[in-house]
Amino acid sequence: MSRTMKIFGVLLCAVILLTALPANAAAGGTDMNNFIFPVEDYGIDMSVTKKTEEINLRDPFVVVYGKTYFMYGTGAARGRGYGCYVSRDLENWAGPVNVFTAPEGFEGTDCFWAPECHYYNGSFYLFATYYSETTKHRGVAIFKADTPLGPFVQISDGHATSSEWDAIDGTLYVDEAGQPWMVFVHEWTSMPGGIGDFSAAKLSGDLSHFISEPISLFKADAPAWTTNGVTDGCFLYKSSGGKLLMLWSGYDKSGYCVAVAQSSDGTVGGEWTQQKRIYTNEKPFELDGGHPMIFTALDGKRYMSIHSPNGRSDTDYEKPAFYEIVDTGDGLALQDTLDYRQSQKNTFVNSLLMFFELVSAVFSALHSFGIGRA
């Protein structure tokens, strides 16, 4: 065979392989919304939906893929496992459907909590918590699938986190060097003094296991406002100004809240300092809430997803809530908060204007009566 024919054969094989790949995979996964995900092919009836405020769900985690929203969370599954809701508009949700159902003999028996779905290297990965009957601890395991609807298959050997810890709320972060990390909660229930922390460990290239010992990032009592040892719902975000930020939840005097911490050197292992709380049960917000994450909607706006309120009562229950979030370069702020502060400033300015108008009217009236004239 001539050299030209060999080259032609190699090129032909490459074309055939690329044609066989999904559009997003052939493009390297750079555009996850250049097609419409065929939800109906998975037996989901998009004509039967619930409004966001009608859904009882904790720890909502939203993935945008194929011009479709996939919302995972605690309480979305039927039976033991993990589930999600599906929407085209971020308001009307079909489902829920199971994306992982525990098979017979599965070690997980309870606490199927906080599933997060991440797209990484052409596949979808579920980082999720369950209680193991084997270790007698909660931990974070890792599952893999070809689509956001699964079915997901466990790829970690049991929990990826330590078999001697209570660990929950694992999230994926890929650093600037391309190294994947799991950042997770080392729960207060297995920490000295009942003070939980956030820990992190490097993951293998296939995300199936840790390749480093976990390091502690900071504890629940790092900020002065915390009222107990709970650390929940970590999510890492790189700001437009290059700051590595962590959104997380704890408790202040108003209840469950969302705070932001910053790494001193932009790395996971840097020194973490506390910035501020961006969501509390104070104006302009009427309920507590937390377990945050950030996603970019199809309209290009960024949103923070939380559940609110944090507890169930006779008149209310935990629901997903989405708040537009603003990247300030150095930190994060909710648009509702910015609007409220501006309205307060406007109210103050308007009050001053009304006061000066009143004073002016009084002086004008006095002047008309000849008072104050020379």
230 and 93 within one domain: yes
Question: Following DSSP, what letter does each residue of 56-73 receive, concatenated?
Answer: --EEEEEEEETTEEEEEE
Of the listed ranges 94-103, 115-124, 168-177, 358-367, the one predicted with least confidence: 358-367
pLDDT band at 3 (very low <50, low <70, confident <90, very high): very low
Query: Containing domain of residue 123, as a range?
Result: 37-330
187 and 69 within one domain: yes
Q: Report if residue 1 sits inside a domain.
A: no
pLDDT in tens, 22-34: 333 332 344 789 9
Query: What is the CATH classification number for the domain harbouring 192?
Result: 2.115.10.20
42 and 28 within one domain: no
19 and 153 within one domain: no
Q: Report if residue 104 sits inside a domain.
A: yes
pLDDT in tens, 287-343: 999 999 999 999 999 999 999 999 888 888 999 999 999 999 999 999 999 999 998
pLDDT band at 136 (very low <50, low <70, confident <90, very high): very high
- Report the alpha-carbon distance of residue 49 to residue 44 in Å, rounded: 10
Structure confidence at residue 31 (pLDDT): 74
pLDDT band at 97 (very low <50, low <70, confident <90, very high): very high
Structure confidence at residue 353 (pLDDT): 54
Q: Report if residue 108 sits inside a domain.
A: yes
Q: Is the pLDDT of residue 110 over 70?
A: yes
Structure confidence at residue 312 (pLDDT): 84
Structure confidence at residue 28 (pLDDT): 34
- Report the alpha-carbon distance of residue 224 to residue 240 in Å, rounded: 28
Q: Is the pLDDT of residue 4 over 90?
A: no
Task: Say whether 288 sits in a helix, a strand or coil.
Answer: coil
Q: How many domains does the chain have?
A: 2
**What is the rounded average pLDDT for all residues in the chain?**
89
Quickly tell me which residue has 């960024």 as its tokens.
Answer: 302
- Report the alpha-carbon distance of residue 157 to residue 284 in Å, rounded: 45
Can you tell me the mean pLDDT for 274-287? 95
Structure confidence at residue 349 (pLDDT): 57
80 and 16 within one domain: no
Can you tell me the mean pLDDT for 123-150? 98
52 and 143 within one domain: yes
Structure confidence at residue 362 (pLDDT): 58
Structure confidence at residue 153 (pLDDT): 98
Question: Following DSSP, what letter does each residue of 337-351 receive, concatenated?
Answer: HHHHHHHHHHHHHHH
Partners of 72 in beta bridges: 61, 84
pLDDT in tens, 185-216: 999 999 999 999 999 999 999 999 999 999 99
49 and 157 within one domain: yes
44 and 77 within one domain: yes
Q: Report if residue 364 sits inside a domain.
A: no
Q: Is the pLDDT of residue 270 over 60?
A: yes
Q: Report if residue 371 sits inside a domain.
A: no
pTM: 0.85
183 and 57 within one domain: yes
162 and 68 within one domain: yes
Q: Report if residue 343 sits inside a domain.
A: no
Can you tell me the mean pLDDT for 73-89? 97
CA distances (Å), origin 307, targets 17, 32, 103, 291: 43, 26, 29, 7
Proportion of the chain above pLDDT 90, given as a percent: 81
62 and 189 within one domain: yes
Q: Is the pLDDT of residue 350 over 90?
A: no
192 and 63 within one domain: yes
Can you tell me the mean pLDDT for 144-157? 98
Largest Cα separation within the chain, whole Å, is: 115
